[in-house]
Amino acid sequence: MNIDCPVPYSEDDVVQLGHGAGGRLTAELLDRLVLPALGRRPDGPLEDAALLPGGGELVVSTDSFVVSPLTFPGGDIGSLAVHGTVNDLAMRGALPLALTLAVIAEEGLPLAELRSVLDSAGKAAQQADVPVITGDTKVVGRGAADRLFLNTTGIGRRVPGLAPSSARARAGDAVLLSGPIGLHGTAVLSTREGLGFETDIASDTRPLHRLVRALAPFGDAVHSLRDPTRGGLAASLNEIARDAGVGVEIAESALPVPSAVAAACDLLGLDPLIVANEGCFVAFVAPDIADAALLALRAHPEGAQAVRIGHCTTAHAARVELRTLLGARRVVDMPSGEQLPRIC
């Protein structure tokens, strides 16, 4: 006799891919499980990097990388691991001082492939002018991981005068975007699924700290910075709107979506606003310095396509709205599920 009780399966009982997507499920996991387990919720918003307690202007950030495939047009997991952590530090106004690099490799991974990825990480660190000062290597049995995972932790120091935080955006701010959106997510997805866009789309992975440094002359007028990685621009704008208690309005006509990305998104039924990026950031700045800040960003190759995409408002606090090409308005929600797994 089978005495098993046919209790319905509950999705709330297990980790889902969406918990790592950077959207609503990730926020719920942090609020309900991770933060309570580690102590009380920190005062203030959850940022890309944190000030080191007692460390003055020192900033620390850590990130893990599980992208599949390991290599894609425009980059690989090695360069991505370096750029991702350098950029998280930069979003708090910091330049990198040092990195750590931890490797978790699956038994059977070709050494030539591991060497290629680590060579790429070393080259990316040199180009970002940041040393990798320590690390760790672990190997797990076949089937216990998917080939290779990397973790990087970074220490940085804030550029004097810069103190961006997602909670500092305020009504009237101009919303700037440093470059095109959607390239990284569609490049990885196309390579993984063999969709044929690889020749037209390459990841935008790159370090952004020098571009952030270009904003240093504007000091305290640079209120918020965020690189729209997991969850895309939609998640970043919603996080800032929530943390600062402001409304955000953006114009579809101003969004820099490359034609190849738009075509890929049309084919796959994706909204470019939720596709991950690794080489651009959104900046909330005081309106009186917006034009000068745009010029400063455009003076650098990685910011040559910087644009103003919208503004902050006192209306509809904590909500993001998009003015469409037809003049209508629609709410841009925080992504709630996992449409693009293993993207970084």
Per-residue pLDDT tens digits of the chain, which is 344 residues long: 444 444 444 556 898 888 887 778 888 888 889 888 988 665 678 899 999 999 899 999 999 999 999 999 999 999 999 999 999 999 999 999 999 999 999 999 999 999 999 999 999 999 999 999 999 999 999 999 999 999 999 999 999 999 999 999 999 999 999 999 999 999 999 999 888 877 789 999 999 999 999 999 999 999 999 999 999 999 999 999 999 999 999 999 999 999 999 999 998 899 999 999 999 999 999 999 999 999 999 999 999 999 999 999 999 999 999 999 999 999 999 987 666 778 88
Q: Are 223 and 175 in contact (CB under 8 A)?
A: no
Tokens in use for 100? Answer: 């750590």
Q: What is the CATH number assigned to the segment(s) 173-331?
A: 3.90.650.10
Using DSSP, how many helices (H) and how many strands (E) does the chain show?
Answer: 9, 14
Q: Are 132 and 85 in contact (CB under 8 A)?
A: no
Q: Are 185 and 193 in contact (CB under 8 A)?
A: no
Q: Are 160 and 292 in contact (CB under 8 A)?
A: no
**Could you tell me the sign of the dihedral formed by the alpha carbons of 296, 287, 222, 303, in that order?**
negative
CA separation for the pair 206, 308 (Å, rounded): 21
pLDDT at 343: 85
pTM value is 0.93
CA separation for the pair 71, 121 (Å, rounded): 12
48-158, CATH topology level: 60s Ribosomal Protein L30; Chain: A; (3.30.1330)
pLDDT at 4: 44
Cite the residue boundaries of each domain of the chain with CATH code 3.30.1330.10: 48-158
Q: What is the dihedral of CA 208, 209, 211, 213, to 10 degrees?
A: 170
Q: b/e string for 286-312 if b means 16 or more Cβ within 10 A?
A: beebbeebbebbeeeebbeebbbbbbb
Cite the residue boundaries of each domain of the chain with CATH code 3.90.650.10: 173-331
CA separation for the pair 186, 91 (Å, rounded): 23
CA separation for the pair 244, 170 (Å, rounded): 7
Tokens in use for 334? Answer: 């925080």
Q: Is 49 exposed, middle or buried (0-12, 13-18, 19+ CB in 10 A)?
A: buried
Q: Are 203 and 248 in contact (CB under 8 A)?
A: no
Query: Which residues have C-beta within 8 Å of that of residue 45, sequence separation ≥ 6?
Result: 165, 166, 167, 239, 243
Which of 121, 151, 119, 125 is CA-nearest to residue 137? 151
Q: Are 247 and 313 in contact (CB under 8 A)?
A: yes
Query: Which residues have C-beta within 8 Å of that of residue 147, sequence separation ≥ 6?
Result: 68, 70, 105, 106, 109, 113
pLDDT at 338: 65
Which of 271, 281, 278 is CA-nearest to residue 339? 271
CA separation for the pair 275, 185 (Å, rounded): 5
